[in-house]
Structure 1
């Protein structure tokens, strides 16, 4: 019995001290360089999440972070394309992202404790889906984004402070059936395009224009799934496990629609990255 407990403690310690594998090297470079985090012990002083200054961020260090303020003012020094790696920061409550010109969007981050989100002047963040953030109740600010191709903020409530200040030209929006949210978004829609409370209703190809969207079906999946983009040929598909390790990789598929065989993978949550000529998109999938 004692031997079992000792082994359990050792294994748990190793898991907690394991360095996070970052798929976005620029995000890692920012987090290990800049004083951008508030932790459980730092008070009001911003520090680097790399608390022991070893050039890596351990899961134990990420778990200490309660707030992140990531900003890259002109001239840009960092080229952060994705914040998916922040899913490792399970205790994050407050997230600010300002002037990240390379950021491609926000795709249902697994930040269950997040209650405040501020996204400002990230001009290429044209796909925003935070419908899974059910605790986002204090503040939601999506400001200074000239064009939003896809917006899904239907998470069951409106944050106490909700703002789309200087965000215009929304092509598609799914919102909660709550007056404050519904009316605010209505002002920002492209003329003639209504917002919707039915997220299963997707825009037509004409309305969608140049959406950076992929379709994955079925999801959840058991044996395999199809991955397709409405307009682009996918050049690479990579599947990452919850530790950020690649577990499946297909280079240079030849079709808009591609089949991924996942029957041999353990059940759980995975991150699919699809690469095309003009960028990359990430989406979560569930293996049953």
Structure 2
């Protein structure tokens, strides 16, 4: 006798209580490329050692022999040669975000250039684009961070070290971990300062194809109305405030100070926008 097929209703209790296998772990681009995740001594090939010369220290990173270091060799071969951010490429490069902590008092531009092996002019462009952020204290690592990342975070946020820093006295840890843009390559960094560098900022090539003055609908002493083109950003992105409607419209009108936004329109949308 043929056994009747089981109905979906009869299988639901079994399916409900059946354990599901865990999802596979996905590789993350920043897991091995971020300098915060590795440690260097002055002699090459010695890594993951607690010493004053971690890779978070720009001075140690500059003295280390990059050709002999596997992580630095990977970085050198995985990314394109850097020159300047302009001219604007037709498409974005893959995301690359680097995390650094200064072990000594440093100058922002020099520190980033030495730590990431980037040309000084490229670093200056990144800072001008708003792609570099700093915080007085390194933020909490994400749950997927590598163990050495977590260990170094604990090392640089040791309470005994934080108590000796005059810049964070009177601030809570959360307040000290708030990020701000680095606005000048010559900005001074106190020992222990955290940096986040968006090496490949999001680009908006459409900005260079538009006659911005012809897109201005109205101009008064109090506001400016712009017919915003599609594929442009009104106020810029997290890592690119330069290629935006605000900047290009202000330049087209020859304004001494940039316009200010009053509302928001999606990048893909086209329509009238009011600046003040």
- Shorter-chain TM band: under 0.3
Structure 1 or 2: more helix by fraction: 2
> What TM-score, normalized by structure 2, do the two folds share?
0.23
Higher gyration radius (CA): 2
Q: Higher relative CO (CA 8 A, sep ≥ 6), structure 1 or 2?
A: 2
